[in-house]
């Protein structure tokens, strides 16, 4: 065990030791006046860097991003009451993106609970609403409770754990602490701290398949048969597939079957590959391929990655995931078949069976390029302003190829996500499940701490930057090489384009007054530049890349193109056939083959004889969707993370190779 500091109270020493044992090198947070200072002290004594943040949610987002990029547990320390309450949004982000974070929070000691009401909340109940587990550390079996907190965060399904620090000792504790020490009652995650397996949650090769060997064999046969019968299969790659990047590249590259990626999965196939077909989000950008498909196979797709929208494609859907959700209600993909096979087996089936198909060469690339073209056509800008598409294109051209990008929630995201080309996974980071604003800047701080060789670009709206503005000071203090590109349009554009002309509050509901983010950044010691042309933006980015510290590039963006961008991404305009791709509708069938279904249950697709089929679909979509639909918040989920956050097999630590004078080492 690593020494966790001399003289620290047992709880603080134990939680720091558990984190240090797991390899964590940095703790983020905002201490209050209580025992959490002991945690910070123990952390620094044990060699963990401490990064002070301006908000607790920013600290947790940084910790979650650290976990995402390193595979190590993230750590954040907050005070009790307002500290934990303020951390909730960050914890929710870690929960829905399946990231292992330990949030260490002070509590009103159980010994004082009857006397103290100030700042006393039911922190266990608050925590349970968002975290996977709430553990009390310091009262009883302290070292074990601390180790449990870290282990539970990493155990599939991976997620955030709250460690409530309570140093009430047995002599002044009149409560029955055994019943509260590990609160693991959240949703269907029904194991307690004593019967959880020890597998590392960041290793996605572990999964829950294979218990029913007969079922698995049947399901492998179903997949193989479906692939043999398919003329136009489409693959959907989700976050869970990142861990299998190498095998997927071998299985798909050069075979011409298009593969769509969820936001977080971008880069599994590099965008340079002909099969890389762009995004699948639940919008309509993916419609040209999915409407023409006769089989859709999802690998590692987490339903939290999909926006709330109808799924009305005719092709059968086969899903393979490491941790399928337990559900009682309707599924996101109606009628989909979840196969009980491990991802590697499904990838092998693809590798063996996908040579014959009816897609034209480069179908994926054609679809992706066409989607990009539509966005470009949709974007317009007045003189002196840039269109959102111009911002992304110019930034991509002038930032180094291996730049790490973080993206906030907002209309700008609709331009950045499809247009920023990714060569590897985890180079394009976004809050996917929660889709929270205020993500890009804190995530960029963590990404720059994890790797100071690469430039980090944070794309954010002005609304999102306003929420996290003070973290510019954090980046200045740490000397981090971040370019914050703010799409300054003075409004909540994503909301404005959904606002009805009457009855939704008008401009007052969405418009801000003018703000110079460049001047605000300068006031915090950052370099800054306001730009309104491509040339100015290119020059500002090149300068940012050469600077040891953050640069805020305040871009005058014309939001006029956003409604059309929205329509191309999620509305009717996305549902247009693409030249060079087959028209939507069932393809010509392959010559008859063996029809025997290896499983008793229904085969993935009921195939009617050709004459019974409807004539090939016209330009009209199978079912009318409403134009840009109101984006509801992600559905409420009471369950804990049903699937672990699968991640790439990586070196356990990706730490900065060169140290900067100003930058704190996190080694
Ligand atoms: C914390 C949080 N609050 C509210 C929302 C809902 N929401 C999503 S995008 C958006 C507007 C974002 O505005 P801005 O940051 O200026 O980006 P823009 O849409 O203008 O590009 C809002 C309010 C959210 N996703 N997260
Ligand atoms: Mg805005």
Q: What is the DSSP string of 266-326?
A: TTSS-TTSTTEEEE-SSSSTTHHHHTT-SEEEEES--GGGS-S-----SS-EEEE-SSPPP
Task: Choose which residue among 90, 410, 495, 497 to substitute to test ligand 1 binding: the one with the highest number of ligand atoms within 8 A of its C-beta.
Answer: 410
Q: Answer whether 17's CB lies under 8 Å from 46's CB.
A: yes
**Cβ atoms of residues 425 and 242 within 8 Å:** yes
Q: How far is the CA of 416 from the centre of ligand 2 (A)?
A: 14
> What residues contact residue 114 under an 8 Å CB cut-off, 6+ apart?
none
Q: Are 553 and 531 in contact (CB under 8 A)?
A: yes
Give, as residue ranges, everything with CB less than 5 Å from ion ligand 2: 461-463, 489, 493
Shortest-distance atom of ligand 1 to CA 409: 9
* 213-370 is a CATH 3.40.50.1220 domain: yes
Helices (H), 420-578: 440-450, 462-468, 471-478, 493-496, 517-523, 534-545, 562-570
| Distance between CA atoms of residues 625 and 359, nearest Å | 26
C-alpha closest to that of 643 among 244, 134, 158, 133: 158
> What is the rounded CA–CA span in Å between residue 299 and residue 301?
6
CB 483 within 8 A of CB 440: no
Domain ranges of the chain: 10-189, 213-370, 381-557
To test ligand 1's pocket by mutation, which of 464, 560, 631 has the most ligand atoms within 8 angstroms of CB? 464
CA 526 to ligand 2 centroid distance, Å: 21
Ligand 1, from 437, 504, 513: best to mutate by most atoms within 8 Å of Cβ?
437
For the chain (667 residues), the mean pLDDT of every run of 10, in chain order, is 59 97 98 91 97 98 98 98 98 98 94 91 96 92 96 96 86 41 39 28 46 84 95 97 98 96 98 97 98 97 95 96 77 93 96 84 97 92 97 97 98 98 97 98 98 97 98 98 98 97 96 98 98 98 97 98 97 94 77 45 43 42 43 36 32 35 37
Q: How far apart are CA 441 and CA 483, in angstroms?
A: 10
Please tell me the predicted confidence (pLDDT) of residue 616.
41
**Tokens of residue 387, six digits:** 């269109």
DSSP class of residue 344 equals H
pLDDT of res. 178: 37
Residues 163 and 149: beta-carbon distance below 8 Å: yes
Partners of 482 in the β-ladder? 456
Q: Do 381-557 and 213-370 fall under one CATH topology?
A: yes
Contact of 452 with 427, CB cutoff 8 Å: no
Handedness of CA 625, 559, 281, 396 (dihedral sign): positive
Nearest to 478 by CA among 528, 441, 529: 441
Q: What is the pLDDT of residue 324?
A: 77
Cα angle value 297/301/305 (rounded, 5°): 135
Sheet holding 74-78, edge to edge: 49-52, 26-30, 74-78, 101-106, 161-165, 133-137, 182-183
Residue 55 CA to residue 442 CA, distance in Å, equals 10
Burial class of residue 5 (count of CB atoms within 10 Å of its CB; 0-12, 13-18, 19+): buried
Cα separation of 176 and 459, whole Å?
49
Round to whole Å and give the CA distance between 170 and 111: 9
Element (H, E) at 554: strand 551-556
> Would you state the pLDDT for residue 604?
43
Pocket test for ligand 1, best of 385, 435, 467, 492 (most atoms within 8 A of CB): 492
Question: Whose CA is closest to atom 16 on ligand 1?
Answer: 463
The DSSP bridge partners found for residue 484 are 458, 552
Q: How far is the CA of 394 from the centre of ligand 1 (A)?
A: 23
Task: Give how far the C-alpha of residue 24 lies from the chain's centroid of Cα atoms, to the nearest Å.
Answer: 21
Distances (CA, A) of 396 to 258, 269, 389, 416: 24, 18, 11, 10
Predicted local confidence at residue 211, as pLDDT: 60
**Cα 213 to ligand 2 centroid, rounded to whole Å:** 52
Strand partners, 186: none
Tell me how far apart the alpha carbons of residues 456 and 553 are, in angstroms, rounded to a whole number. Answer: 13
Ligand 1 atom with minimal separation from the 492 CA: 13
pTM: 0.85
> Among all ligands shown, which has an atom nearest to the Cα of 439?
1
What residues does ligand 1 touch, defined as CB less than 6 Å away? 408-412, 435-438, 461-464, 487, 489, 491-495
273-327, pLDDT tens digit by residue? 999 999 999 999 999 999 999 999 999 999 999 999 999 999 999 999 987 777 7
Q: Could you identify the residue written with the tokens 């608050």?
A: 126
- Distance from C-alpha of 491 to C-alpha of 84, rounded to nearest angstrom: 30
pLDDT digit string, tens, across residues 100-149: 999 999 999 888 988 999 999 999 999 999 999 999 998 788 999 999 99
Paired strand residues for 75: 102
Index of the ligand 1 atom closest to the CA of residue 487? 21
Ligand 1 center–CA 4 separation, angstroms: 41
**Nearest CA, atom 4, ligand 1:** 437
Q: Let me know: does 514 contact 372? Beta carbons within 8 Å.
A: no
Q: Which fold has domain 381-557?
A: Rossmann fold (3.40.50)
State how far the Cα of 566 lies from the Cα of 77, in Å rounded to an integer. Answer: 39
- Helix or strand run (H / E) with residue 366: helix 363-378
What's the token pair of residue 141? Answer: 């079996």
Categorise residue 29: left if φ over 0, alpha if ψ from -120 to 50, beta otherwise: left
Residue 43 burial (C-beta neighbours within 10 Å; 0-12, 13-18, 19+): buried
**Ligand 1 atom at minimum distance from 413 CA:** 21
Q: How many CA atoms lie within 13 A of 435 on its CB side?
A: 20
Encoding tokens for residue 313? 């494609």
Task: Report the nearest-CA residue for atom 9 of ligand 1.
Answer: 410
Residue-by-residue DSSP string for 67-135: HHHHSSPEEEEE-TTHHHHHHHHHHHHHHHTT--EEEEEE---GGGTTT--TT---HHHHHHHHSSEEE
The reported pLDDT for the residue numbered 208 is 55
pLDDT confidence of residue 212? 76
Number of CB atoms found within 10 A of residue 397's CB: 11
489 Cα to the center of ligand 2, angstroms: 5
Distance between Cα 39 and ligand 2 center (Å): 38
Give the atom of ligand 1 at the shortest distance from the alpha carbon of 89.
1
Position in ligand 1 atom list of the atom nearest CA 467? 1
Q: What number does CATH give the domain 10-189?
A: 3.40.50.970
Give me the sheet containing 317-320, strands edge to edge: 276-279, 259-261, 233-237, 295-299, 317-320, 337-338
Q: Are 400 and 545 in contact (CB under 8 A)?
A: yes
pLDDT value at position 588? 66
């Amino acid at each position: 065990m690593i020494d966790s500091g001399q003289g620290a109270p047992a709880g603080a020493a134990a939680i720091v030791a558990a984190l240090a044992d797991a390899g964590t090198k940095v703790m983020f947070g905002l201490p209050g006046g209580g025992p959490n200072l002991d945690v910070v002290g123990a952390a620094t004594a044990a060699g963990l860097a401490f990064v002070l943040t301006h908000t607790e949610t920013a600290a947790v987002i940084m910790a979650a991003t650290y976990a995402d990029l390193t595979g190590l547990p993230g750590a954040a320390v907050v005070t009790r009451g307002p500290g934990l309450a303020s951390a909730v949004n960050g914890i929710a982000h870690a929960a829905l993106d399946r990231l292992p974070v330990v949030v260490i929070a002070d509590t009103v000691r159980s010994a004082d609970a009857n006397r103290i009401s100030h700042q006393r909340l039911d922190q266990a109940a608050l925590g349970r609403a968002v975290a996977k587990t709430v553990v009390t550390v310091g009262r009883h079996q302290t070292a074990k409770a601390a180790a449990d907190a870290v282990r539970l965060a990493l155990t599939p399904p991976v997620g955030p754990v709250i460690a409530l620090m309570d140093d009430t000792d047995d002599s002044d504790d009149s409560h029955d602490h055994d019943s509260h020490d590990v609160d693991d009652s959240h949703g269907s995650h029904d194991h307690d701290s004593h019967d959880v397996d020890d597998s590392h949650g960041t290793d996605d090769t572990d999964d829950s398949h294979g218990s029913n060997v007969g079922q698995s064999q049947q399901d492998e046969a179903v997949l193989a048969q479906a692939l043999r019968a398919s003329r136009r299969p489409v693959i959907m790659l989700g976050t869970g597939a990142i861990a299998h990047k190498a095998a997927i590249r071998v299985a798909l590259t050069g075979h011409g079957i298009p593969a769509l990626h969820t936001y977080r999965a971008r880069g599994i196939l590099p965008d340079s590959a002909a099969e890389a077909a762009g995004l699948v989000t639940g919008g309509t950008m993916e419609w040209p391929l999915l409407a023409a498909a006769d089989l859709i196979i999802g690998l590692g797709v987490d339903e939290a990655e999909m926006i709330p929208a109808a799924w009305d494609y005719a092709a059968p859907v086969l899903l393979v995931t490491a941790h399928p959700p337990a559900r009682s209600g309707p599924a996101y993909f109606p009628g989909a078949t979840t196969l009980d096979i491990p991802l590697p087996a499904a990838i092998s089936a693809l590798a063996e069976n996908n040579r014959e198909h009816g897609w034209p060469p480069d179908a994926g690339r054609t679809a992706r390029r066409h989607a990009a073209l539509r966005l470009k056509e949709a974007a317009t800008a007045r003189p002196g302003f840039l269109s959102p598409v111009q911002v992304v294109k110019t930034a991509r051209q002038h930032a180094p190829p291996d730049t790490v990008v973080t993206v906030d929630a907002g209309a700008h995201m609709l331009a950045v996500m499809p247009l920023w080309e990714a060569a590897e996974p985890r180079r394009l980071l976004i809050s996917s499940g929660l889709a929270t604003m205020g993500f890009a800047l804190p995530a960029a701080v963590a990404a720059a701490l994890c790797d100071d060789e690469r430039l980090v670009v944070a794309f954010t709206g002005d609304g999102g930057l306003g929420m996290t503005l003070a973290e510019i000071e954090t980046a200045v203090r740490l000397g981090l090489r971040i370019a914050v590109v703010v799409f300054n349009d003075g409004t909540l554009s994503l909301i404005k384009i959904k606002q009805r002309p009457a009855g939704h509050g008008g401009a007052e509901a969405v418009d801000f007054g003018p703000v110079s983010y460049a001047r605000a950044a300068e006031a915090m010691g950052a370099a800054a530049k306001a730009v309104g042309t491509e040339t100015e933006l290119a020059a500002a980015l090149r300068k940012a890349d050469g600077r040891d510290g953050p640069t805020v590039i305040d871009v005058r963006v014309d939001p006029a193109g956003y409604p059309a961008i929205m329509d191309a991404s999620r509305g009717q305009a996305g549902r247009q056939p693409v030249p060079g791709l087959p028209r939507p509708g069932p393809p010509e069938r392959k010559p008859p083959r063996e029809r025997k279904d290896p499983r008793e249950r229904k085969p993935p697709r009921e195939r009617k004889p050709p004459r019974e089929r409807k004539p090939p679909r016209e330009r009209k979509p199978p079912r009318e969707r409403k134009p840009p639909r109101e984006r509801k918040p992600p559905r409420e989920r009471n369950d804990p993370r049903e699937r672990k956050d699968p991640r790439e097999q990586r070196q356990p630590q990706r730490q900065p190779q060169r140290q900067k004078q100003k930058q704190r080492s996190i080694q």
